[in-house]
Structure 1
Amino acid sequence: FLASKESQQVLEGLAKGRVDIVIGTHRLLQKDVAFKDLGLVVIDEEHRFGVVHKERLKKLRATVDVISLTATPIPRTLHMSLVGIRDMSIIETPPLDRLAIHTYVTRYEEAVIRDAVLRELERGGQIFFLHNRVETIARMAQKLSDLIPEARVAVAHGQMRPRELEKVMLDFLDGRAQLLVCSAIVESGLDFPNANTIIINRADKFGLAQLYQLRGRVGRSHRRAYAYLLIPGEKIITRDAERRLKALQELDELGGGFKLALHDLEIRGAGNLLGKQQSGHIEAVGFELYTQMMERAVKELKGEALKPEVEPEIRLGIPAYFPQDYIPDTNQRLLFYKRLASLRDLEELKGLKEELQDRFGPYSSEVENLFLVMYLRRVLKDYLVQQITYHDGRLSLLFHPQSPVKVEKLLELIKGDKGRYRISPEGRLSFASQNQDWQKLIPEVVGFLQTIH
């Protein structure tokens, strides 16, 4: 807590360039703060800053470099990193001897609270009890004192006088208080190695990133820590709150913040990249299409060459599908069709084949044909082939204008066997094939494409 006179001296030093590094709160973003030559801004706990705060940071200097630090990126920041707008580095190595925090979601029951507190006291530890309503926090503290007379209880919240709050926190740090009933003021910036149990009342009212930060107040030593998330009842809380709590409970391993942020992105959406919303779902075009559009836009802005995308039309007239007797459940069949359509490389295709055999047993010729067709589709996309047809022993290929066909190799093939290869006026290439077996015909097409590219 700085006095007004000290704060003014720091501000004068910033304006005149006498201060090289300044560490501060949101106070540094107010309009009366001026920097002589600002070059780098490091934002700790980035999720605590709103869009208005970040715009103020950008206006401080047009060429300022910004590094954002957070255990749980907000949805928009994470999405901007995933699509390449912002660079991202991940620190996954935990401190030495650090253990994961065991997390429990349970209804508010006095027996659970008393048991959790006494268990921590028995091993000489301290406890945070988070009650985020200042108007009733004193009443809750008295209730806990009556419930657990063995514990020395203290209260801390943001509306206390600075000196009074400082004294309470020092008492807790020195062990004179064992159970700290507090508001979300303890969310960040505190390190109490002896506090290894946190109980969060009405956990359903907090966001996922905030819960993760609050849980991080414990487990900061070599001891096992415990977090109890108290809710009024599963039927009372919202569906999104239920998903948040479930995600936090399941992802309790070390370094789970990034995975939790991905869950948060899924639950809340990515928001508007150029607007004020830092979360929100993209309902108009769908998330996958939106991401593809953003990736293309970013590449254009970077001046990178954009490879055309084609969706090959395959007309081979072969039976290629999942028979109903092979995968009886309709939803399962649709799921595997969707996974097939979204395969990115041959390794994923191989993995899916192995999974099918493992789950449903040996597959029929129709399924084998389907895998061959999807393999062919992947190759056609790579070589920018828009359409392939098979009729009366002849294969016909229609190439995209930007397809990287080596014309000299193609002309050599045509000259070498004029009867087999033909080119139509619209640029369609066809050639005769003696193969009637689809398992040989499709590899023949792939080999031909590799020859002329």
Structure 2
Amino acid sequence: LDILGGKSWETKKARAKKSVEELAGRLVTLYAKRQNAQGHVFPRDNDWQASFEAAFPFQETEDQIRAVEEIKADMESPRPMDRLVCGDVGYGKTEVAMRACFKAVMGGKQVAFLAPTTILAEQHFENFQERFGRFPVRIGMLSRFVPRAEQKKTLERLAAGELDIVIGTHRLLQKDVVFKNLGLLVIDEEQRFGVKDKERLKEIKASIDCLAMSATPIPRTLHMSLLKIRDMSVLRTAPQNRHPIETFLQEFSDDVVIKAIRREVERGGQVFFLHNRIDTLEATQLYLARLLPELLIRNAHGQMDPKDLEEVMHDFIHGNFHVLVSTTIVENGIDIPNVNTIIIDRADVYGISQLYQLRGRVGRSGKVAYAYLLYPEGRALSELAMKRLQVISDFTELGAGFKIAMKDLEVRGAGNLLGAEQSGDILSVGFELYLKLLDEAIAAKTDQKSDEVEEIYMELDYSGFIPDTYIQDPTDKMDVYKKIASVVTDDDLERLFQEVYDRFGPLPDEVHSLFSLAEIQIICRKLRIKSIRERSGICRVEFGRMIDFPFEKAMRLLKESKGQVRSLPDKPNVLVLETQKVGLAEKSVFLRERLSRLL
């Protein structure tokens, strides 16, 4: 914390402001360049495209449909596309990208699909081969898992235009890779490429359509700030075919471990066993081998030689062994549908967001998945650790990531999107203030209006609050207060109401009152009301400017209100509402009903 009256806070704020202005300048310059560039105009969808989309074996989510429509509109315009698709793991980003790739091929162009690791590239290659199998699209792959002779052949076919789509790692960025007619570049997890790779990407991206994908959940506020200078599509809806992950919170025991692993292996699946200490990882592998001698068990950690790690992961993905004992390094983007049980040893030492992400590595197929959060036998857990584990075991539905307040994920998401150097400034001044500064800086450089909303002064003989019996944790409580205070639209308020209900259960009267006050504030904002003050049974509603005063609607309300609403002759921008005879429980309804009639 900073000392009141001291200079440290102002210094941090000034540093963050300077950093934000530089960032906004870079982003705005990039956007302006892209607006003026000329790219390829792709034709409208043909019958092949319709057939390809109809062959998708699942029901698309509304977010997927919207993202695909936005991408197609970009591709059919003369400006080169540079769109980012964000969404939690398993929310259907790959299908969205596949439809863009198919459209590019139907338009006579080649596609480069870039993945950050060999394993991910191979996985995408297999998925593409399966999805495009029935259609006349030629797909190749470039990575160090591909033999040299085959790589040479792939390069020749690319240059001759005999390959439509090539999937690969940064190998695709090397100078010997020549395309006959490249039209679309798809980048999976762009933030994970190195500086040199990014420079090469900038050269390639100058005049072709580019689609980037990120599995980092992007907070809505950051999304809104960046929309002014970057095209983004956000997938927030979980696919319909997914089951919630069944989560068990238990003491560690041989019996629990044996039953959990056997149940998964007997149904033909594989298991992640998370043990986050490298020095005892091998001992844990041997312990499991003694418990389950009939199973094949291997281990993986971040200090292994990258080639060895890649080999272990490659074998695991291809079902060559049953149980992977690993630290938390397991590739976040990797989709292994056959792994549907995760056992997290010492779950009590992880944070909420980390547990949520770890659990999200299972349950990516149509099968029911299981997560075991194990804590040491016979050890009393701290109240905080128990609460963290309880939150995760309670929130089992897909998409809970957006419901559990994860500040560290927000910072990581912003860092990934804006650049790692931004994360320090975000941490020093807080996420909300950083976004406010960014929004103002972008607005200043683009001559747009900032999203900053005017404060409305409210003083009512009616209050709402969050009792301790409803939300005990002070951090959670403060988080909900802040969210209610920052709500701007009815839709946001409805979403927040659902979030609070889902997280903490049915709302008591005091919290309902709090939401009612937020609703009144939204109405006041729409009507450009400056203040609303209640004293001794009289409520004065003051409009900011005469030009904003809804004269005709106010006259109608005065006539119909039977004396409960009146005007002041000397203050034409003020309405007076009589609230003396209105009970506390009915007051919010009374105010909402009267003010709504002015909209």
TM-score normalised by length of structure 2: 0.49
1:6 matches 2:150? yes
Mapped contact 1:100–1:219 kept (Cα < 8 A): no
1:150 matches 2:312? no
Aligned length: 420
Matches within 5 A, 1:22-421: 22-29=166-173, 38-44=182-188, 46=189, 49=192, 52=195, 57-69=201-213, 73-74=215-216, 80-81=222-223, 83=225, 85=227, 86-95=232-241, 99-104=243-248, 109-121=253-265, 125-129=269-273, 140-153=284-297, 159=305, 165=311, 169=315, 173=319, 177-181=321-325, 184=329, 189=334, 191=336, 193=338, 195-201=339-345, 208=353, 212=357, 216-217=361-362, 220-222=365-367, 224-229=368-373, 248-256=392-400, 259=403, 265=409, 270-271=414-415, 274-277=418-421, 282=426, 286-291=430-435, 309-313=453-457, 319-320=461-462, 359=508, 378-387=522-531, 399-400=543-544, 403-405=547-549
Q: Secondary structure at 2:168's aligned position in 1?
A: coil
- Aligned partner of 2:572 among 426, 429, 450: 429
Tell me: CA distance 1:83–1:248, structure 2 relative to 1, closer, same or farther (3 Å).
Answer: farther
Mapped contact 1:272–1:280 kept (Cα < 8 A): no
> Shift of residue 434 of structure 1?
10
Tell me: CA distance 1:237–1:14, structure 2 relative to 1, closer, same or farther (3 Å).
Answer: farther
Q: Secondary structure at 2:288's aligned position in 1?
A: helix
CA deviation digits over 1:69-107, x for unaligned, max 9? 45xx32557764354522213452243xx5433234556
State the AA in 1 paired with 2:315.
M
> Shift of residue 383 of structure 1?
2.8
Residues in 2 aligned to 1:173 and 1:392: alpha-carbon distance in whole angstroms:
74
1:20 matches 2:167? no
Tell me: CA distance 1:243–1:18, structure 2 relative to 1, closer, same or farther (3 Å).
Answer: farther
Tell me: CA distance 1:135–1:408, structure 2 relative to 1, closer, same or farther (3 Å).
Answer: closer
Mapped contact 2:187–2:213 kept (Cα < 8 A): yes
Write 1 or 2 for the structure with the bigger share of helix: 2
Tell me: CA distance 1:18–1:288, structure 2 relative to 1, closer, same or farther (3 Å).
Answer: same
Tell me: CA distance 1:21–1:305, structure 2 relative to 1, closer, same or farther (3 Å).
Answer: same
Tell me: CA distance 1:55–1:153, structure 2 relative to 1, closer, same or farther (3 Å).
Answer: same
Residues in 2 aligned to 1:371 and 1:257: alpha-carbon distance in whole angstroms:
23
Long gaps (5+) in structure 1: 362-366, 412-419
In the other structure, the counterpart of 2:116 is none
- Give me the CA root mean square deviation: 6.4
Residues in 2 aligned to 1:192 and 1:268: alpha-carbon distance in whole angstroms:
26
Tell me: CA distance 1:258–1:144, structure 2 relative to 1, closer, same or farther (3 Å).
Answer: same
Mapped contact 2:411–2:426 kept (Cα < 8 A): no
State the AA in 2 paired with 1:429.
P
CA deviation digits over 1:161-199, x for unaligned, max 9? 78x94899389737xx54455675676546464x54333
Q: Secondary structure at 2:166's aligned position in 1?
A: coil
Larger Rg: 1
Residues in 2 aligned to 1:156 and 1:270: alpha-carbon distance in whole angstroms:
29
State the AA in 2 paired with 1:49.
R
Mapped contact 2:568–2:576 kept (Cα < 8 A): no
Tell me: CA distance 1:128–1:310, structure 2 relative to 1, closer, same or farther (3 Å).
Answer: closer
Identity, % of aligned pairs?
Answer: 31
> Shift of residue 312 of structure 1?
3.7
Mapped contact 1:105–1:230 kept (Cα < 8 A): yes
